[in-house]
Amino acid sequence: MKKVKKAIIPAAGLGTRFLPATKAMPKEMLPILDKPTIQYIVEEAIESGIEDIIIVTGKGKRAIEDHFDSAYELEQTLISKEKFDLLKKVQEPSKLVDIHYIRQKEPKGLGHAVWCARNFIGNEPFAVLLGDDIVQAETPCLKQLINEYDRTHSSVIGVKRVPDNETNRYGIIDPIEQQGRSFQVKNFVEKPEIEKAPSNLAIIGRYVFTPDIFMFLDKQEVGAGGEIQLTDSIQNLNKIQRVFAYEFEGNRYDVGEKLGFIETTIEFALKNKDLKENLLKFLKSKIEEHEHF
């Protein structure tokens, strides 16, 4: 059985929820503390054993390529000023792994973005990681899915329970059978109405696929929201071969929308020993201030 060694990171979306910040800057470059969100994703892929990454980019996304490239002038300046700690931080992203890029000419949807990387993947199993979710776990989230792929030899979709009133924001699974954290799935439904959601197990930005998913992505069928949806192809793939959902362990942070982004920033800052004390003081003062209203 072929091992999962390649990953696709789609990053060609318009990032409308963060406009105007994302007018000229990719949303994937928005930082949590001092690191762009996409670097957390690349690090998770590497820690999961991925050897080759392809990032699907689009218009206005050059900053992502620059971030994972070397920055000669900046590095020379830091060397001449003997700022070696900063030099290490600047060099780190370019040393992580081999990163390849492909352009999605139009943001036609997540399914289309994955399809754009088909020639890079060829006839191998592969992973997809979305930058909207950062997961912190003892065993990296993608590694948990790859372990499940190795066990089942089938595509595996990462899921997490979400509050019942938020099911309309996600792809939701309709599970038939559960074995530990692994589910056999009857249907994958994109953004169901809250009353019609078959469960509260939501698809969260981490996938492992057999290359057969491309048979369905090739058809380029347009689904919900006028976009070529990845969930529709997963649903079709599940009709010809088993697709499992895996409820991964770990904390998931939704950095693709404003409140989640702010919460993640606060949580990560509270884990940082240089920031924790002063941030807590600030937060306490804000709570007191707002309790008067």
Would you tell me which residues interact with ligand UTP (CB under 6 A)?
10-17, 27, 56, 104, 107-110, 112-113, 130-132, 256
Of residues 54 and 56, the one with the C-beta less far from ligand UTP: 56
- Least distance to ligand UTP from the beta carbon of 127, Å? 14
Smallest distance, ligand UTP to C-beta of residue 199, A = 21
Helices within 81-135 (DSSP H only): 84-95, 110-115, 118-121
Would you say 154 or 231 has its CB closer to ligand UTP?
Answer: 231
CA 278 to CA 67: how far, in whole Å? Answer: 30
Residue 78 or 116 with smaller CB distance to ligand UTP: 116
Over the range 145-164, which residues count as b (16 or more CB within 10 Å of their CB) and which as e? bbebbeebebbbbbbbebee
Shortest Cβ 173–ligand UTP spacing (Å): 18
CB of 281 to ligand UTP, least distance (A): 33
Kindly tell me which of 169 and 276 has the beta carbon lying closer to ligand UTP: 169
Asked if residues 149 and 156 have their Cβ atoms less than 8 Å apart, the reply is yes
User: Residue 105 CB, nearest distance to ligand UTP (Å)?
Assistant: 10
3-state secondary structure of 52: strand
Could you give the CA distance from residue 112 to residue 87 in angstroms, rounded to a whole number? 38
Beta carbon nearer to ligand UTP, 57 or 154: 57
* Closest chain position to ligand UTP (CB): 13
Q: Using an 8 Å Cβ cutoff, are 253 and 270 in contact?
A: no
